[in-house]
Amino acid sequence: MSPTILVTGGAGFIGSHTCVALAAAGYAPLVLDNFCNSDVRVFERLARIIGSAPRFVEGDVRDRALLDRLFAEQPIAGVIHFAGLKSVGESVSDPLAYYDNNVHGSLVLAAAMEAASVHTLIFSSSATVYGATDRLPIGEGEALQPTNPYGHSKQMVEQALADLQRSDPRWRITLLRYFNPVGAHESGLIGEHPHGKPNNLMPYVSQVAVGLRDKLAVHGGDYPTPDGTGVRDYVHVMDLAEGHVAALRHAERQAGLATLNLGTGRGTSVLEVVKAFERASGRSIAYEIGPRRTGDVPSNWADPALAQATLGWRAQRGIDQMCADSWRWQQANPRGYES
């Protein structure tokens, strides 16, 4: 029988792609999601990719009674914890929502796991925990100095889980610090569909390409980078998804705490993303260079060597494939799962 993996937030962008990778690797994902930032119709799409829809439960990760019931109803081999809020700007205006959902939610989950003697946990952290640094590439030993409540909430959960693992060596905990997840499953059936105006570059560029928005505002053209625009480490969401499977396999072999960057180790500028998307879509992307966005760093990219050494995982897909897959999803689903 396939081992069941509880996937909190499994209806969301990274979670839904991870369900595909889990099923391909012989695991049975069981999704817990409150759909605050996702759409239940993702399961019809997943059924078309995987062959059958993953089981899902609508509910909140902060609901301890629900978690206790889920752990009692079936053997659960491990948990991948994606559920949380992820907008930096919103976290500044509503910090309590972020501490409640991200920190409190993770603590309730860890306590329910402890009570059920389930000790394998993979946690979605973020490169945001590093804040601004001049040292590139960024290694896991870099000082943590997040600059906003979202980043603080991730750092707090990392700290709590590290302390938990230290208190009981049965725990197998992996903290994955994602760089910039983009792209979509190659089928074009699942992908990212932010509500309202996208904050992130790739969804904005794809909405310009498909004609939903007039032009991209490039946030700053005077950074100390080769073309003056910001440089980031974009990583294909299917590479990330496969990284979670590799992390599960590693946890099966070895107890302990692992803290790992998931990135490609390559930086790509805003204008390079625009050009790559033009190649992928055959459309021209209108843009205008404007002022810098408050809080942005000029450049950041990962040192992914530790993830490779520990998990045997390496990102396989480059920026052209990220754009081609984003475009396939965007073109076929201009209004996300409503399309």
Catalytically annotated residues: 150
When the beta carbons of 88 and 289 are compared against ligand NAD, the nearer one is 88
User: C-alpha angle with apex 179: 139 to 252, nearest 5 degrees?
Assistant: 75
* Nearest residue to 172 (alpha-carbon basis) of 107, 123, 242, 228: 123
Q: Smallest gap, in angstroms, from Cβ of residue 169 to ligand NAD?
A: 26
Q: Smallest gap, in angstroms, from Cβ of residue 211 to ligand NAD?
A: 24
Return the one option of ligand NAD, ligand UDP, none that residue 230 interacts with (CB less than 5 to 8 A, by type).
ligand UDP
Return the one option of ligand NAD, ligand UDP, none that residue 36 interacts with (CB less than 5 to 8 A, by type).
ligand NAD
**Residues ≥6 apart with Cβ < 8 Å to 12:** 33, 37, 38, 82, 83
Q: Smallest gap, in angstroms, from Cβ of residue 8 to ligand NAD?
A: 6
> Which residues within the stretch 276-305 sit at the binding site for ligand UDP (CB under 6 A)?
293, 296
The answer to whether the beta carbons of residues 218 and 229 sit under 8 Å apart is yes
Q: Smallest gap, in angstroms, from Cβ of residue 24 to ligand NAD?
A: 18
When the beta carbons of 18 and 281 are compared against ligand NAD, the nearer one is 18
Residue 309 lies near ligand UDP (rule: CB under 6 A): no
When the beta carbons of 64 and 219 are compared against ligand UDP, the nearer one is 219
| Residue found under tokens 């991209």 | 216
Residue 263 lies near ligand UDP (rule: CB under 6 A): no
Q: Smallest gap, in angstroms, from Cβ of residue 199 to ligand UDP?
A: 6
Residue 225 lies near ligand UDP (rule: CB under 6 A): no
The answer to whether the beta carbons of residues 130 and 142 sit under 8 Å apart is yes
**DSSP assignment letter at 330:** H
Both structure tokens of 297: 């760093």
- Closest residue to ligand NAD, judged by C-beta, is 12
Residue 178, beta-bridge partner list: 126, 262
Q: Smallest gap, in angstroms, from Cβ of residue 311 to ligand UDP?
A: 23
When the beta carbons of 57 and 289 are compared against ligand NAD, the nearer one is 57
x-or-dash string of contact with ligand UDP, 181-220, rule CB under 6 A: ------------------xxx--x-----------xxxx-
Residue 235 lies near ligand UDP (rule: CB under 6 A): no
- Rounded Cα gap, residues 334 and 339, in angstroms: 6
Give the amino acid at 180.
Answer: N
Return the one option of ligand NAD, ligand UDP, none that residue 132 interacts with (CB less than 5 to 8 A, by type).
none
Q: Smallest gap, in angstroms, from Cβ of residue 158 to ligand NAD?
A: 12
Q: Where are the beta strands (DSSP E) in the chain?
A: 4-8, 28-33, 55-58, 78-81, 120-126, 172-178, 180-182, 216-219, 231-232, 234-236, 256-262, 268-269, 287-290
Return the one option of ligand UDP, ligand NAD, none that residue 137 interacts with (CB less than 5 to 8 A, by type).
none
Binding site for ligand NAD (CB under 6 A): 8-9, 11-15, 32-38, 60-62, 82-84, 86, 101, 105, 124, 126, 178, 181
- Rounded Cα gap, residues 100 and 49, in angstroms: 34
**Number of C-alpha atoms within 13 angstroms, CB side, residue 252?**
11
> Total residues at the site for ligand UDP (CB under 6 A)?
14
Residue 132 lies near ligand UDP (rule: CB under 6 A): no
Residue 87 lies near ligand UDP (rule: CB under 6 A): no
Q: Please report, for the chain, how many H helices and E strands are present, in that order.
A: 12, 13
Task: List strands edge to edge, sheet with 4-8.
Answer: 55-58, 28-33, 4-8, 78-81, 120-126, 172-178, 256-262
C-alpha dihedral sign at 169, 245, 324, 336: negative
- Closest residue to ligand UDP, judged by C-beta, is 230
Pairing, β 234-236 against β 180-182: parallel
- Residues near ligand UDP, by CB under 6 A: 180, 199-201, 204, 216-219, 230, 232, 270, 293, 296
